Amino acid sequence: MLDFLLFVVVGFLAQIVDGALGMAYGVLSTTVLLSFGVAPASASASVHAAEIFTTGASAASHLWHRNVDKRLLWRLAPAGVLGGVVGTFVLTSVDGATIKPFIVAYMAVMGVVIVWRTLRALKPRHEEVRGVSALGAVGGFVDAVGGGGWGPVVTTTLVGAGGQPRYVIGTVNTAEFLLTASVSAAFVVAIATGHWEDASLIDNAMAVAGLVVGGLCAAPLAGYVVKRISPRMLGIAVGTVVLLLAVYQTVKLLA
């Protein structure tokens, strides 16, 4: 019960952050799961299972408010799905103890990216964004392998390359729902075919439930909270927390 309540809080805070910055739900949730000793593949699968609900709600909201650039969506989403499925296959093919140091390093990099993006305050240049499909494939791959990163990689790059924030965030969040559903399906296939031999999702059921409940509770409040808390301060705080947790994991690995 305590684990469930803890992850309700984690899911709530992660969704508030994601609503304010357009990223970091997966990174923050996965980092916390790794800190609890959950294997990288199980952490990624758990977070993506929870994100089906939160990204679905987000996508529906952005479609309703017409924040989605459909041309950009159909260039980004298929490549993201492909990258995510490949990333899932790679993650479930490697022993958790072997890949964990790389995932921890990746989380540290994501912490730096979040702080960098927040401090830099990227402004749109209203230019044509190129290389979207390649970006989507890379974003999907690292999101599946790292349990998060689609927003920090894709949103930051598109806004920095000249995309309009409203449509970038709306489109990236909508594509994320398709990515999340595909990655979750790929994990299920990996279990069903015996490819993922050390799957232990049942052990993380309470964590997934907590993340879902917390995220859904936070979704209606995100807009209000953003008005009260500076996105700049929030971004720096989240990036710092992710970095500190990555350092903690590094110390544990070296001990």
pLDDT, tens digit, 9 for 90 and up, residues 122-158: 555 555 667 899 999 999 999 999 888 898 888 877 8
Place of tokens 């917390």: 214
* Under 8 Å between Cβ of 196 and 92: yes
Dump pLDDT digits (tens) for 78-111. Answer: 999 999 999 999 999 887 778 888 888 887 888 8
Say what the pLDDT of residue 122 is: 55
For residue range 188-223, what is the model confidence (pLDDT) as tens digits? 998 888 878 666 667 678 888 889 898 888 866 655
pLDDT digits (tens, 9 = 90+) for 30-74: 888 888 888 888 889 999 998 898 888 878 878 888 889 999 999
* pTM metric for this prediction: 0.81
Q: How far apart are CA 168 and CA 170, in angstroms?
A: 6
Of 175, 161, 164, nearest to 83 by C-alpha is 175
Q: How far apart are the first and last CA of the chain?
A: 30
